[in-house]
Amino acid sequence: MTTELRIRDISAIALEVPITRMDNPPESLPYYQELKSIVFGSYKSVVVKVTGENSIVGIGECMTRLSPEALVSIIMDVLRPILLGKDAFDTEVAWEEMYGTMRQRGHSKGYFIEAISGVDIAIWDLIGKTLHKPVYKLLGGKFTDTVECYASSVRFKRPKEVLDEVRSIVEEGYTKFKLKIGRGVEEDIEAVKLLREEFGYNMTIMVDANSGYSINSAVRIGRKLERYEIYWFEEPIPPDNLMGYKELTTKLDIPIAAGESEFTRYGFRDLFEIGRIDIVQPNVGRAGGITEVKKIISMASAFGIEYAPHTGSSSGITVAAELQMAASSANFLIFEHMRSAWSNEQPNPLGKEIMNESIGPPVKSKIEIPLGDGIGVTLNEKALERYRIK
């Protein structure tokens, strides 16, 4: 019987795949024309390996937007020395010690928590692979064998192209999809109206503004969206305006979703208490890893808030970890399946290639929960080498 599992080594690998044929990024992002080649110029990831004294390797991923090397430095210079020789089963202790190093220094969001997230996921994977149990078992069991997915996301294009894309989404068996908005109230409403005229009310539509609206415009568009029975209005305004979220959730009946830009239980506490959001969307590779996101989901349940994980442009490692969280959460709502990438002509190879096992695509909009040990996937070292930043 294993009672202790010392951490022998930790490593972090920066991956990058340049996007040569770039689509337009979400236009609601501030300065998107100026910044698109920097923010969306490549697919990026940081993969974390935590090796136990039993030589088993657990894997995790940090959500990575810019400068993967910065995350690697934090992991190797700050987090690795804290954890070497510690017992991997002590997940709470490890998390608090990692967080404690920089808590009073302004690093309670952003890169530092993304670095902790990847390490924490890898520790849970190591525990699961050591005990030959999937992570959902360690988290209290699964409520479901499959999760329902929505197709994410339909980008702005000419109306005919949007309609064609939604037609193919319907053909693939989805009944729910998300539309990127943020071009302005009139144009956004025109797009939603067109979709309702074409597909009626049998399709469930979510909209995502990627923080692109002011409070006033978000109220205006939110009131119009209510007429079209939109399932949720995601990130209407920037994440650093919690009082704005409060105003919106007070004035609008449409459910407000947010959380992909938030970190730790402290950030989410404020998003719930002040922002009063209806649906929470943490990314396990960003918000604090499995240890922290489990707490965030539980806290959400006490507020009556449903959990719809954000997967975004993360690799399959994050998707695998998130399926474990989704399966084991009583307040899980729906899973984000990234049907489109930042470049439709050049899909993200980090999604599948870096793992030996494949997850999805959904069949009739459902994905099965991986039953393998840990998060249920292992690394394809050859693919990792191919995309590693040399």
Which residues contact Mg ion (rule: CB under 5 A)?
A: 208
Residue 242: count other Cβ atoms within 10 Å of its Cβ. Answer: 19
> C-alpha distances in angstroms, 354 versus 70, 126, 245, 350?
21, 18, 38, 6
With respect to Mg ion, which residue has the nearer C-beta, 91 or 261? 261
With respect to Mg ion, which residue has the nearer C-beta, 40 or 387? 40
Measured from the CB of residue 257, what is the shortest distance to Mg ion in angstroms? 8
Measured from the CB of residue 33, what is the shortest distance to Mg ion in angstroms? 20
Cα–Cα dist 200/95, whole Å = 48
With respect to Mg ion, which residue has the nearer C-beta, 120 or 208? 208
When CB distances to Mg ion are compared, the closest residue is: 208
Cα–Cα dist 138/145, whole Å = 16
Measured from the CB of residue 210, what is the shortest distance to Mg ion in angstroms? 6
With respect to Mg ion, which residue has the nearer C-beta, 95 or 342? 342
Contact assessment for residue 305 and residue 277, using Cβ atoms and an 8 Å cutoff:
yes
Contact assessment for residue 70 and residue 111, using Cβ atoms and an 8 Å cutoff:
yes
With respect to Mg ion, which residue has the nearer C-beta, 311 or 328? 311
Measured from the CB of residue 234, what is the shortest distance to Mg ion in angstroms? 5
Measured from the CB of residue 74, what is the shortest distance to Mg ion in angstroms? 25
With respect to Mg ion, which residue has the nearer C-beta, 188 or 208? 208
Residue 217: exposure state from Cβ atoms within 10 A (0-12, 13-18, ≥19): middle
250: left (phi over 0), alpha (psi -120 to 50) or beta: alpha
Measured from the CB of residue 166, what is the shortest distance to Mg ion in angstroms? 18
Measured from the CB of residue 6, what is the shortest distance to Mg ion in angstroms? 39
Tokens read off for 227: 């007429």
With respect to Mg ion, which residue has the nearer C-beta, 208 or 306? 208
Residue 253: count other Cβ atoms within 10 Å of its Cβ. Answer: 9
